């Protein structure tokens, strides 16, 4: 077999992926694009190095420059989130959650959590990190009309169960969690409060969503590559200090608990992303929310069954609408054929994640490309043509590609204007 040919095949698929997203409308709610400075960090020598431990306390030599980078990332994270403690080592939001479970629970402990069908992330479910730790899950009642936790029912559940952890935060996240009221109840029964901010981390940092660490969360975990547009990775934040025994357990939960080395090039890119968000995050978060609300409203006006409509549709980057019983997968496929990248998603009442009835959208990447409310009106029309009018997706795609030509440049970062989908052209002899 020609191994060079095999390697070049992989390279060509990567280039095809760049071309596909360059021509498409990327609307997966958990994705974003990197700034030029963040990209640069990913091809530095950090990418292949190890730095187990903490700055100044390493198990390997050769870490003196990375120690400076990680220390700066921690410093910037604390400023960005007004936190007293930050750990930038987790390699994803799920790994951050795993570290918290490792630190603060033991198998068989009770936790309260939202059901995945009602919007919780899989890491809080029995098939994810919570199940891996062997936790006993008790699910909050959910108000499907308000698309939020039923406060009275959840308070009753927490008092009844007396969990070790009360878990909050969602994968489908339209509105802020009623955190303060429920955190008070959790603390009454001795539970710690964990808030998974993966999807809304950038909105929180921009001051445009709730502020969990000020509303009773003992710890906040998150992903650094969604509404906070950095590299794929995770972070743990708290308002306690390293002198606290709880924080010491968190440190151990991360290392040696669930990480060894932790993708040093991503930590460097996180530091860049934190600095950029300190500079541009408020403006970016504001435009994300304006775009999401406008798109949700326009989709509703076009005839879609958009959830949360009696409460303003959304207060985040996300939109969720129904497309018919178990028709989410079919709808997502048609949208992809039309150049719109979205994902099928469970809605309240669904029972199987592979046979959902909804579509989830996020506008954070489109916003990063400079789109505003006027563009949301045009995008809603594309959805109608595909999913309501039944127009041939290939025909709609031609118009999508033409529309997208004007939106390839990165905004809300240092050195704005680079083509987000441009790739390095290798010189071949």
276 CA to centre of own chain = 17
Secondary element (H or E) of residue 358: strand 358-362
Residue 184 inside a domain? The answer is yes
In a domain, 233, yes or no: yes
Which residues lie below 8 Å from residue 6, measured CB to CB, with a gap of 6+?
Answer: none
Dihedral sign of CA atoms 379, 385, 387, 389 in order:
positive
Name the 3-class secondary structure at 120.
coil
Give residue for tokens 């997208």: 404
- Pick out the chain residues at pLDDT < 50: 425-429
Tell me, what DSSP letter sits at residue 103?
A: H
Sheet architecture: strand order including 136-139: 85-87, 229-238, 219-225, 192-196, 165-168, 110-113, 136-139
Kind and range of the H or E element at 235?
Answer: strand 229-238
Q: Are 91 and 257 in contact (CB under 8 A)?
A: no
Strand-pair category, 219-225 with 229-238:
antiparallel
* pLDDT confidence of residue 132: 85
pLDDT at 325: 93
Decide if 389 is inside a domain. no
Pick from 108, 111, 234: nearest CA to 163: 111
Q: What is the CATH number of the domain that holds 143?
A: 3.40.640.10
Residue 421: the pLDDT is 87
126 domain residue, yes or no:
yes
Does residue 57 belong to any structural domain of this protein?
Answer: yes
In a domain, 203, yes or no: yes
DSSP, collapsed to helix, strand or coil, labels residue 46 as helix
Residue 10 lies in a domain: no
Residue found under tokens 């509703």: 300
pLDDT value at position 425?
A: 47
Q: Check residue 426 and give its pLDDT.
A: 42
**Radius of gyration of the CA atoms of the chain, in A:** 22
Does any domain span residue 294? no
Closest CA to 122 of 353, 362, 358, 360: 353
The DSSP element (H or E) to which 286 belongs, if any, is: helix 264-301
Provide the pLDDT for residue 423: 60
- Domain tally, the chain: 1
Cβ atoms of 360 and 345 within 8 Å: the answer is yes
How far apart CA 198 and CA 118 sit, in angstroms, is 16
Domain containing 242 equals 39-275
Other C-beta atoms within 10 Å of 61: how many?
6
């Amino acid at each position: 077999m020609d191994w060079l040919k095999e390697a070049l095949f992989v390279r060509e698929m990567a280039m095809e992926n760049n071309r596909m997203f360059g021509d498409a409308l990327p609307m997966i709610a958990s994705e974003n694009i990197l700034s030029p400075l963040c990209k640069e960090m990913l091809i530095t020598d950090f990418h292949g190095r190890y730095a187990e431990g903490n700055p100044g306390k390493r198990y390997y030599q050769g870490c003196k420059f990375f120690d400076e980078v990680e220390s700066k990332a921690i410093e910037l994270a604390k400023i960005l989130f007004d936190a007293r403690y930050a750990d930038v080592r987790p390699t994803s939001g799920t790994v951050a959650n795993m570290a918290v479970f490792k630190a603060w629970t033991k198998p068989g402990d009770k936790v309260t959590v939202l059901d995945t069908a009602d919007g919780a992330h899989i890491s809080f479910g029995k098939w994810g990190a919570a199940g891996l730790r062997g936790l006993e899950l008790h699910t909050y009642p959910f108000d499907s009309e308000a698309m939020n936790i039923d406060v009275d029912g959840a308070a009753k559940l927490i008092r009844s169960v007396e969990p070790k952890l009360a878990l909050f935060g969602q994968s489908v996240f339209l509105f802020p969690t009623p955190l303060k009221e429920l955190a008070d109840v959790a603390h009454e029964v001795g539970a710690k409060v964990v808030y998974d901010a993966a999807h809304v981390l950038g909105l929180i940092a921009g001051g445009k969503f709730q502020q969990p660490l000020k509303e009773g969360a003992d710890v906040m975990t998150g992903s650094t590559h969604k509404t906070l547009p950095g590299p794929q990775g995770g972070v743990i934040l708290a308002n306690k200090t390293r002198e606290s025994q709880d924080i010491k357990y968190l440190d151990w939960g991360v290392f040696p608990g669930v990480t060894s080395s932790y993708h040093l090039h991503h930590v460097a890119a996180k530091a860049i992303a934190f600095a950029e968000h300190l500079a541009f995050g408020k403006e970016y978060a504001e435009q994300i929310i304006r775009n999401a609300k406008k798109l949700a409203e326009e989709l509703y006006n076009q005839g879609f069954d958009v959830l949360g409509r009696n409460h303003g549709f959304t207060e985040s980057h996300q939109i969720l609408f129904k497309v018919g019983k178990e028709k989410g997968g079919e709808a997502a496929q048609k949208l992809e054929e039309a150049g719109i990248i979205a994902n099928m998603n469970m809605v309240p009442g669904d029972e199987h994640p592979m046979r959902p009835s909804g579509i989830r959208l996020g506008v954070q990447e489109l916003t990063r490309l400079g789109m505003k409310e006027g563009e949301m009106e045009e995008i809603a029309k594309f959805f109608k043509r595909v999913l309501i009018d039944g127009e041939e997706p290939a025909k709609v795609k031609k118009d999508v590609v033409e529309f997208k030509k004007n939106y390839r440049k990165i905004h809300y970062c240092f050195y704005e204007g680079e083509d987000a989908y441009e790739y390095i052209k290798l010189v071949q002899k």
